[in-house]
Amino acid sequence: AVQPEPAYIFQNLLIQDVAYQTLTSSQRAAIHHMLAEWFEAATTKHPEAAQALLAYHWEHAGELGKAARCLLAAGDAARALYALPEAIADYRRALDLLDPQADPELAARASMTLGLTYHLAFDFRLARQAFDQGFELWRQGDGQPPRDSSGYAQLAVDWLYMPLTLD
């Protein structure tokens, strides 16, 4: 009979941490890469459920573009539930991982979505900063608005007339 592969469960997190630290950085990256691929395959029916976890593993595997896209998806899911602090954290982290020179349109979209989320959270000052950053990123790209600008045109109008305070 075929024996299952051994599984290790650590009773103490310190032992787990020490075992993890004994691996080389390339071994850790390879393990995170395998875990990310496994989670992607295991969550095909409900991919939104594992986006934050996928982002963690892709980031530690060195796949920053994939991690950023997962964080954007996690932010979208959190924003849909009005979990605005979590959405803001996801979008901000995604912006940290994105390379605006490599994909200025994606970075601009992320910044605009962050602005929308700040707007929903009634933080108009930070919303305006995020919108300004998004417009600047679009100018750095081809200078054209995104190809499917359906929601972004209204964001631009809202941005122009956005109050700085609720007074």
pLDDT tens per residue across span 52-111: 999 999 999 999 999 999 999 999 999 999 999 999 999 999 999 998 888 888 899 999
The confidence score (pLDDT) of residue 150 equals: 47
Query: In the prediction, which pLDDT does 96 show?
Result: 94
Q: Are 155 and 148 in contact (CB under 8 A)?
A: no
pLDDT category at 49 given cuts 50, 70, 90 is: confident
Tens digits of residue pLDDT in 120-157: 999 999 999 999 999 888 887 666 655 554 455 555 55
Say what the pLDDT of residue 69 is: 93
* pLDDT bracket for residue 19 (50, 70, 90): confident
Instruction: Identify the residue whose tokens are 């109008």.
Output: 157
User: Which stretches within the chain are classed as H helix?
Assistant: 13-21, 25-42, 51-60, 64-80, 84-97, 104-120, 124-140, 150-160
> Taking the model in full, what pTM does it have?
0.75
| pLDDT at residue 85, rounded to an integer | 96
Residue 57 region by backbone torsions, left for phi larger than 0, else alpha for psi between -120 and 50, else beta = alpha
3-class DSSP state for residue 11?
Answer: coil
The token pair that represents 56 in the structure block: 């963690």
Q: What is the pLDDT of residue 80?
A: 92
Q: Is the pLDDT of residue 23 over 70?
A: yes
Tokens of residue 161, six digits: 């007339």
Pull the structure tokens for residue 68: 């950023």
Rounded CA-CA distance 39/48 in Å is 11
72-92 burial code (b ≥16 CB/10 A, e <16): bbbbbbbbeeeebebbbbbbb
Contact 140, 104 (CB under 8 A): yes
Alpha carbons 63 and 53: distance in angstroms, whole number: 14
Q: How far apart are CA 17 and CA 123, in angstroms?
A: 39
Q: What tokens were used for 128?
A: 């305006």
